[in-house]
Amino acid sequence: MALNVSDPYRPRIGLTTYYQKAAWGVWQADAAILPGTYVQAVVAAGGTPVLLPPVGTDPTVVELLDGLIIAGGSDVDPEQYGAEPHELTRSQPARDTHDIALTRAALATGLPLFSICRGAQILNVALGGSLIQHIPDVNPGAAQYQPAPGVFGRVEFTTAPGSISDELLGPQASAPCYHHQAVERIADGLRVTAAAQDGTVQALETTAGGWVLGVQYHPEQNPDDLRLFKGFIEAARNYRQERTENLVDVHQHV
């Protein structure tokens, strides 16, 4: 099918994936996988998904992207923030290394960055912050965040005025959630821009400017509310346009 050049540009969005045992048809083997809700949300919001498995990590891949999503998944290895593992912590160290490297590369280049659930924790850890490894240890009423295995909870939160969260969602919002860990010590360079009533951090943004948003909840699980994804795709499109204009400028002055 021929490309319709009149179509608006669909930003290329990198999404990190799992790499683990999976099954399809008659096969069962290690595979790069990602819940389809992430891919569907990116497409519905106007982007082109590009999957980035945690194998052969190359942080320079961010130069080919217009935006990056660090997806949810397993617990972050506490070794990354100098803690001993909790008995319920389940990590995938290779994925941590991959996601942290891509997160730092995105921050260094100004690439729009959308970090979801585990991704928000990766963002905090990548910049020197720490995590609560099991929320019920410090908040016995935290069952709402992970009601049962494979069952999403729902969290209500308020947003900080003037933040990306506030701009896209308004002063209050709710979203699906599924996590037993949470942000503890906030890394330098980040600020809390959304929190639940019990104080659990629900969103982080950078203090250095640019489009960087880490959310503890799962917006991709609510296909009827794509406000965050649409805001992210718009930022990715603007990033692409600015980068293109800068390249043209450089070539004109060579």
pLDDT tens profile 55-93 = 999 999 999 999 999 999 988 989 888 878 887 778 788
pLDDT band, very low/low/confident/very high, at 209 (cuts 50, 70, 90): confident
What integer best gives the mean pLDDT of the chain? 91
The architecture (CATH level 2) of 12-252 comes to 3-Layer(aba) Sandwich (3.40)
**According to the model, what pLDDT value does residue 252 have?**
54
Residue 172 has pLDDT above 90, yes or no: yes
Mean pLDDT of 36-52: 97
Residue 244 has pLDDT above 50, yes or no: yes
pLDDT digits (tens, 9 = 90+) for 121-165: 999 999 999 998 888 888 887 878 988 999 999 999 999 999 999
Kind of pairing, strands 190-196 and 172-177?
A: unpaired
Question: Which residues belong to the active site?
Answer: 117, 218, 220
**According to the model, what pLDDT value does residue 3 have?**
42
Q: What percent of the chain has pLDDT over 90?
A: 73
169-175 LR contacts (CB < 8 Å, sep 24+): 169/194, 169/227, 169/228, 175/215, 175/217, 175/218, 175/219, 175/221, 175/222, 175/225
Residue 39 has pLDDT above 70, yes or no: yes
Q: What percent of the chain has pLDDT over 70?
A: 94
Mean pLDDT of 6-32: 91
Cα–Cα distance for residue pair 35/147, rounded to 1 Å: 20
**According to the model, what pLDDT value does residue 4 have?**
46
Token pair belonging to 169 = 């969602």
- The residue that leads in pLDDT, 84 or 41, is 41
**According to the model, what pLDDT value does residue 85 have?**
82
pTM, full prediction: 0.92
Instruction: State how far the alpha carbon of 203 is from the alpha carbons of 45, 219, 224, in Å.
Output: 20, 12, 20
* Cα–Cα nearest to 73, from 47, 46, 42, 35: 35
- The residue that leads in pLDDT, 200 or 138, is 200
